[in-house]
Homo-oligomer: A and B are copies of this chain.
Amino acid sequence: MQLADLSWEQCAEYLARDNRIILPLGATEQHGRHLGLGADFLIAQELARRIGAQTNVLVAPTLNYGMSHFHLEFPGTVSLAPTTLSAVLQDIFQSLYRHGFRRVFVVNGHGGNHPSLQSAANVIQNQFPDLRVKFFEWWLDGEITRLVDETLGTQQGTHASNHETALMLAVAPQSVHTARIAKRDAPVLPAREFDSPARFREKFPDGVMGLDPSPATVELGERILEKSAALGILEMENW
């Protein structure tokens, strides 16, 4: 059930029986030489759709732009400033609260959005103490890590690496340009330093952080999606 397809009257009917909503957050940012710039919002949207379909919870329209400052040296990346993204999220939370939504399940497809999301939640929950905001980020769960390790032998990739490539093969094959895969590993450094866009590009000239993404398969992508959606469904049902 997509909020976009419901009329206000139907939305009012939904609110009479449930106060939850799923909000998919994405980004428009580089994902290597081989993945489309929409990867993060396409994945978040698909996960949100699956969780919503199974739990009968309404899914809000996807936010297609996020906070991607460190990717700005790569053509096509479009980034909101952290304060802008926080303002957007606060406005969305406030509108939802006004109508009676009380639990927002944020399916976040991009790690760079997290600080702005947390800031927005801190502010809005100080204002509306009974508004609950959960966040769901597929890469955080140990089960996903194990699944990739079992399948590929190892899992060290983060951005645009093997698991994101697998996911995209399952979600949006038209956005995976296999011939352009840069077949080389990139370091995944412990992130104790914030990088400027210029230094980021210098460190990761292909835009990939982590392992060579070529072993990724559509089957692995589908399995990650399934497992991740299952985790999300569980979290939603136990809420």
Contact = CB atoms under 8 A, between A and B. Distances in A.
Interface of A: 2-12, 15, 28, 30-38, 41-42, 60-65, 67, 69-70, 72, 74-84, 86-88, 91-92, 95-96, 98-100, 112, 114-116, 118-119, 121-123, 125-126, 128-136, 172, 174-175, 177, 180, 192-199, 207, 235
Nearest to A58: B76
A180 B174 CA distance: 37
A91 to B, nearest CB: 5
The complex is assembled from copies of this chain, and their number is 6
Contacts of A28: 3-4, 60-61
Contact of A115 (B62, B92, B114, B207): B114
A33 B13 CA distance: 12
28 contacts: A4-B38, A5-B38, A5-B174, A5-B175, A7-B76, A8-B31, A9-B75, A10-B177, A12-B76, A61-B65, A64-B64, A67-B122, A69-B125, A72-B98, A75-B100, A78-B95, A80-B91, A81-B91, A81-B123, A82-B86, A82-B122, A82-B123, A83-B119, A84-B91, A88-B88, A115-B115, A125-B199, A192-B235
